[in-house]
Structure 1
């Protein structure tokens, strides 16, 4: 126990999952990592969990992946509560934080990491869509193709560019990171390439699925093809596909005004703000 926080165990998970599912817009990564990689596991995305108990169940949950990503769900903004986590996290290498923007900013400030050097530090608008309301405006005559071994090289090139442009990954590391990602995409059948006349124009993906909710991400279009509605068309076609397979809701966060306009055109509505902070090298909570 540390200042109202305690390390969570396997028997806490039913209540934790129910709590996180109530805040799925900013908790889907925690839920999926927990399901796919386990509690206190050895995979880089396995999570350790700390919780703060309320009167009727969890009042806050902090997940930290084995690689060091902070994933907070602490709806009550309370710096003292967040500071109490410092002892539990002392000495643990941390690579960044993703979550509700207010919560991420409060947590990093409380941990003394708000001025840590970063390669990405962005607050992006979040959106959600009931897929029954999906609007597919007229657009370019294009087709989606499932990612597979036959087109993995193209997907890897797009993903490498995405790493450099969106995630701030150093050029020397982007290709290796992209290939590792693509191996995961192929296993999960989660990404699609967009084609026109036999030429790959871009990609779109489903980063996470929880129940009937999907999280859209990894959208990339060749620079020379941007501004023509291609990203909007790719996402719309992919969402129509997952809707036919049973998905009922889509969530995402948009990196930039052009992306936000594309998502609004598909029917997405504002749903808060997500912060993505990636440190420039591992950081540790100050003693």
Structure 2
């Protein structure tokens, strides 16, 4: 019923995930970037394939403990089989289509686990051919941005409900360094000063997924969220991207994305466990 994916499975897995790309970006991107199985990278991922009675599903577990899945109309049996396959591994949380997250966590025995974040966010898509061509003043991160960036990430992690104030501060420096090292973040410049940021958290062929869009409190209400989003999408479109996906953490962000052409296509669930939990068969 369920088995760990092998190299020869990847073309079929990729084709399947591409049919549901809007809710498969993390899993698809991890496999495209890091291949199958765990490596030294935190986003490296073990993948598992479920096939039964004509139904197909793909499950993933990243090295740091985030669960991903793609299986429309997922039966509890499939999620339980995945749980058995990853028995002994620690889970931090899961993101994905709402019903699939619910069934998967139940199958892992975590359906009643305490959560520090449970958020259903509007899922948006945009064809980049519709993007404004008016150039926005922005640039990639510089090492000199790391000080302000640490403060920004502390506020971002707290504002989005991902971490408590204390945990956000302790993790902010590492998040800022990671954003600088991966080279995908962009900052909006007003009079030469960075006032907002955006990042790409998944990239598959000509599709990108945005994350980490943040405007510091003192700069809010000025349209900078829409501008920095436009800036990073202009950069990605110049590199060949044709479609963008994101999910909005709050109504103000949603209106900003809609103002530049994003259309809501569904909902996306984020479920983060209060305490990392081991999967038990």
**TM above 0.5:** yes
Unaligned runs of 5+ in 2: none
Aligned residues: 280
Tell me by how many angstroms 1:231 deviates.
Answer: 0.3
Q: Aligned equivalents of 2:189 and 2:271: distance in 1?
A: 32
Tell me by how many angstroms 1:152 deviates.
Answer: 2.3
8 A Cα contact 1:135 1:265, kept in partner? no
Q: Report the 3-state secondary structure (helix = DSSP H, G, I; strand = E; otherwise coil) of the residue aligned with 1:228.
A: coil
Are 1:209 and 2:207 an aligned pair? no
Q: Report the 3-state secondary structure (helix = DSSP H, G, I; strand = E; otherwise coil) of the residue aligned with 1:280.
A: strand
8 A Cα contact 1:136 1:236, kept in partner? no
Are 1:37 and 2:48 an aligned pair? no
Distance 1:112 1:236, change over 3 A: same
Q: Once superposed, what is the RMSD of the aligned Cα atoms?
A: 2.2
Are 1:130 and 2:124 an aligned pair? no
Q: Report the 3-state secondary structure (helix = DSSP H, G, I; strand = E; otherwise coil) of the residue aligned with 1:209.
A: strand
Aligned partner of 2:15 among 4, 13, 18: 18
Q: Which residue of 1 aligns with 2:271?
A: 277
Q: Which residue of 1 aligns with 2:2?
A: 5
> What is the 5 A alignment of 1:29-178?
29-42=26-39, 43-53=41-51, 59-135=56-132, 143-178=137-172
| TM-score normalized by the length of structure 1 | 0.89
Q: Report the 3-state secondary structure (helix = DSSP H, G, I; strand = E; otherwise coil) of the residue aligned with 1:84.
A: helix
Tell me by how many angstroms 1:55 deviates.
Answer: 7.7
8 A Cα contact 1:126 1:273, kept in partner? yes
Q: Which residue of 2 aligns with 1:180?
A: 174
8 A Cα contact 1:125 1:253, kept in partner? yes
Q: Aligned equivalents of 1:241 and 1:45: distance in 2?
A: 24
Unaligned runs of 5+ in 1: none
Q: Aligned equivalents of 2:178 and 2:108: distance in 1?
A: 32
Deviations 1:87-108 (A, max 9, x none): 2232221100011111111211
Deviations 1:106-139 (A, max 9, x none): 21133331221111111111010010112479xx
| TM-score normalized by the length of structure 2 | 0.91
8 A Cα contact 1:37 1:45, kept in partner? yes
Q: Aligned equivalents of 2:82 and 2:227: distance in 1?
A: 43
Q: Aligned equivalents of 1:41 and 1:89: distance in 2?
A: 13
Q: Aligned equivalents of 2:176 and 2:34: distance in 1?
A: 18
Q: Aligned equivalents of 2:105 and 2:14: distance in 1?
A: 24
